[in-house]
Amino acid sequence: MTALSVNLNKIALIRNSRDTRNPDVPAHAQQCIDAGANGITVHPRPDQRHIRAQDCFDLADMLKVEFNIEGNPFTGPRASDRAGVSDYPGFMDLVREIRPAQCTLVPDGDDQLTSDHGFDLTRDGDRVAPLLEELKSLGIRTSLFMDPVPEQIRLAAQVGADRIELYTESYARAFEAQENHEAVFAEFVAAAEAATECGLGINAGHDLNLHNLPLFATLPGLLEVSIGHALTVDALQMGLIEAVRAYQLALGKGQ
C-alpha cells in the first residue's frame, strides 16, 4: 500500500504570519498521524517562508512515523528578511543533525515560488553522489526529486539513491485540463518501470489532490506520496482529520 506523508509547509506558512505558535506545527502533525497519515514531510527553504529549522527539531522530537525532510543540499545559511527569525543553518547541516528517516534532495533555486524541476544528473551527478553516500552512512534513506525521464532515473540509481521522488506537476496540470492526461500518466508509468528495473524505490509528489490521486495511485511500485498544498486547502473545508482520511481513501485504502 502507498504511504501518505503529509507535508506541513502550509501550516507553518500560516503560523509565520504572526509571532505566535498558532497554528502549532507539531500538534498538526499529531492530528495527521491520529487520522492515519503514515509520515510527515517538510521542505525548509532558505528564505524561512514556512518550515524553519526549529520546526524540524520539534517534529524530530515527537514523531514516531517516518520523517521526510526535502530540500536543496547546496543551500547555506542566509540572512533572514526579518531580523531575528533566521535559524536556517543550511540544508545539509540541518539534516546531519536531525537524521530523519528519509531525506529527499531537490534542485531548487533559493528564491523559487515552489519546486519546478527534477535533477539533471548528467550535470549534477558528481556533486550529488558524495552527499547520498554521506546521508546513507548516517542511516538516512535517500531520495532524489526527478522528472519522469527514464535516462535520468537510471542515473539516479548510478549515483547511489535509494529512491526517487517523481515530480508530478506535469501530470497534475494535464489532469486538471483533462487534456492528454492518460498519455502523461503513461510517461510516469515508463519512468516507474525504469526505476524498478534499476532497483530504486518510487515516491511521488507535487500538486497531487483528491481528484488526480486515484489514477496516480495505480502507478506500479508507488511506495509513498507526499502531499501538502491541496490537502491543507481541503482541510479548510473538511477539517484536517477528515482531509487525511479522504486522501487515504483516494489512495485506495478503506477506513
Ligand X SMILES: CC(=O)[C@@H](O)[C@H](O)COP(=O)(O)O
Ligand Y SMILES: NCC(=O)COP(=O)(O)O
Q: Does 247 bind ligand X (CB under 6 A)?
A: no
Question: Of 28, 165, 181, 206, which residue is the catalytic one?
Answer: 206
Q: Does 73 bind ligand Y (CB under 6 A)?
A: no
Grid cell listed for 89 = 543553518
Identify the CA nearest to 175 among candidates 228, 209, 212, 207: 212
Residue 227: which of ligand X, ligand Y, none does it interact with, CB under 5 to 8 A by kind?
ligand Y
Only segment of 14-22, 27-35, 120-128, 205-213 that touches ligand Y (CB under 6 A): 205-213
3 state SS for 188-209: HHHHHHHHHHCCCEEEEECCCC
- The residues with which 142 forms a beta bridge, in sequence order, are 103
Only segment of 26-34, 135-143, 186-194, 221-229 that touches ligand Y (CB under 6 A): 221-229
For residue 229, CA distances in Å to 42, 156, 238 come to 12, 27, 14
Sequence-ordered list of residues with C-beta below 8 angstroms from that of 166, at least 6 positions apart, any chain: 118, 146, 147, 148, 188, 191, 192, 202, 203, 204, 205
> Which residue type, as a one-letter code, is found at position 220?
P
Q: Which of 70, 108, 224, 234 binds ligand Y (CB under 6 A)?
A: 70
Looking at beta carbons only, is 162 or 207 nearer to ligand Y? 207
In the structure, how many helices (H) and strands (E) does the chain have? 11, 8
Q: Does 227 bind ligand Y (CB under 6 A)?
A: yes
Question: Of 28, 70, 165, 224, which residue is the catalytic one?
Answer: 70
Question: Does 43 participate in catalysis according to the annotation?
Answer: yes
Looking at beta carbons only, is 48 or 224 nearer to ligand Y? 224
Question: Does 28 participate in catalysis according to the annotation?
Answer: no
Question: Does 70 participate in catalysis according to the annotation?
Answer: yes
* Calpha distance 59→40 (Å, rounded): 9
211 annotated binding-site participant = no
Identify the CA nearest to 101 among candidates 163, 190, 187, 179: 163
Question: Of 28, 43, 165, 224, which residue is the catalytic one?
Answer: 43
Residue nearest to ligand Y (CB): 205
* Calpha distance 148→171 (Å, rounded): 10
- The footprint of ligand X (CB under 6 A) covers 9, 43, 45, 70, 106, 114-115, 145, 205-206, 228
Rule CB under 6 A: which residues touch ligand Y?
A: 7, 41, 70, 165, 205-208, 226-230
Binding annotation:
7, 18, 45, 50, 114, 207, 228-229
